[in-house]
A and B are shown apart, each in its own frame.
Chain A
Amino acid sequence: MFDSLKEKAVPNTPDGFLLFLNFTVYPLVAAKNMMPENLQETIRSIRNGDHAAFRKLVTIYQQPAYSLSFRILGNEEEARDAVQESFIKVWRKIGSYDPSRDFIPWMYRIIANTSTDRLRTIHRHTMVPIDLVSQKLEEVMQRDSSTAADNREIAILIEGLTGMLPEKQRLVFILRDIEGMTSNEVELITEMTETSVKSNLYHARKCVRERLLRILEKERAIK
């Protein structure tokens, strides 16, 4: 369990070259240097106030944390602040973390909650016009398939597709269908029941698909 979450961490070991190649093609990277027993040891050290151990944790997980935060917030500066705030919260709350439970969903819950709270305070639920989404999509699709979109393009595409969704649906959709987590992981991070996750995902997918089809229709009409 949580393999998809563990895979998101960035490798910092010398044998990370192949993982780096994998990272450029496919973003979910196997964190060989952070196997469960190693992670538990790091957490134990952090609980004893070890700053170096915490730096190690931050170094490994800040990239996937940023990715999640950016996809929720759609803004670079806000995502940076949210990541910083989240890790500071992790440090403050590590004493209350129950070691018999999985650490990663616990940490991701803090990141997701901090980002969602921030989104609520900045009121950034603007609807990106279909024309703009369609234009950006065409630009991105015309490029080589291995070339990823830049941050601004990602923000427009995600906001364009999920901007109209209610908070819960949006979070479940981002975790499940964009971050690529399993339903079980989404349940643990959002603390929702299986039924609630399924229901939110169903409605979110329906809305996103309708929006996607409208964008594709628009593209067809232009051509």
Chain B
Amino acid sequence: MKCRDVEKILERMVFEDVPVDAGLKEHIASCPVCSQAFMDALKAREVMGVIRRSVPEPRDLDEITDNIMYAIQQEPGGKAIIPLVLQRFLAAASVALLLLFGYEQYGVVRKVTALETKFSETRGESLYSNPQRLASALDINRAGISLSEIERFISPKNRARLLSLTSLKSNDQRK
């Protein structure tokens, strides 16, 4: 057995019940460093034993019980307000709603990003630099117009039609 192996055993020995085998005994007898480490480990294990055996005692257990019982008598508690089955159903429904909402929001973001790209291409400016145009893009999205339709609208020929559908119209007319 090497000193490194002894060190590993001693590490465990402080906290667990590790049997002292013949190999360990033999090494300890011939190595003064490990012998000292072994004695320390034994002492450390004894300390851990004292800590484990010393169970903290409350001064007045009855008083703690009475305080708890007094507190719960003021509470409606006990019975489940919502049955477990319903709790699980509500949890599942919440997750489903969250996913649905997340998917819908993802669609909105995707459409607005696409619109942003289109508007930048046609007008050479960012939608986000103009709050009114961003609002218009959201209007187009809410109106349920598909991206392919928008692409058609964006062409110079149909641009007037696009403007007539959204608040971009008033903005552009003002210009």
Chain A residues proximal to chain B, CB less than 8 Å? 26-27, 46-51, 54-55, 58-59, 62-63, 66-67, 70-71, 76, 79-80, 83-84, 87-88, 91-92, 94-96, 98, 137, 140-141, 148-151, 153-155, 157-158, 161, 177-178, 180, 205-206, 209, 212-213, 215-216
CB of B48 within 8 Å of the partner chain = yes
| CB<8 Å pairs between A and B, sample of 19 | A46-B78, A47-B80, A48-B78, A62-B65, A66-B64, A88-B72, A88-B75, A92-B75, A95-B81, A140-B50, A141-B46, A151-B57, A154-B54, A161-B51, A180-B52, A209-B44, A212-B14, A212-B47, A215-B47
B67 touches A84 (CB 8 A): yes
A141 touches B58 (CB 8 A): no
B10 CB → nearest A CB, Å: 9
Q: A157–B71 Cα gap in the complex (Å)?
A: 33
Residues of B within 8 A of A46 (CB): 78
A151 CB → nearest B CB, Å: 5
Q: A91–B52 Cα gap in the complex (Å)?
A: 30
CB of B20 within 8 Å of the partner chain = no
B61-72: CB near A (< 8 Å → 1, else 0) gives 100110111011
Q: A59–B63 Cα gap in the complex (Å)?
A: 11
Chain B residues proximal to chain A, CB less than 8 Å? 11, 14-15, 40, 43-44, 46-48, 50-59, 61, 64-65, 67-69, 71-73, 75, 77-82, 84, 87
Q: A148–B172 Cα gap in the complex (Å)?
A: 87
B53 touches A148 (CB 8 A): yes
Residue of B nearest to A146 (CB): B53
B54 touches A149 (CB 8 A): yes
B67 touches A141 (CB 8 A): no
A27 touches B53 (CB 8 A): yes
Majority SS of interface residues in chain A? helix
A26 touches B53 (CB 8 A): yes
Residues of B within 8 A of A59 (CB): 65
Residues of A within 8 A of B40 (CB): 213, 216
B78 touches A94 (CB 8 A): yes
Residues of B within 8 A of A88 (CB): 68, 71-72, 75
B80 touches A49 (CB 8 A): no
B84 CB → nearest A CB, Å: 7
Residues of A within 8 A of B58 (CB): 62-63, 66, 70, 76, 79-80, 83
Known: A80-B64, A96-B84. 15 other contacts (CB 8 A): A49-B77, A54-B72, A58-B65, A59-B65, A76-B59, A80-B58, A84-B67, A91-B77, A95-B79, A96-B87, A157-B47, A177-B48, A178-B51, A205-B15, A212-B47
A127 CB → nearest B CB, Å: 18
A95 touches B56 (CB 8 A): no
B55 touches A49 (CB 8 A): no
Q: A50–B52 Cα gap in the complex (Å)?
A: 35
Residues of B within 8 A of A178 (CB): 51-52
B8 CB → nearest A CB, Å: 12
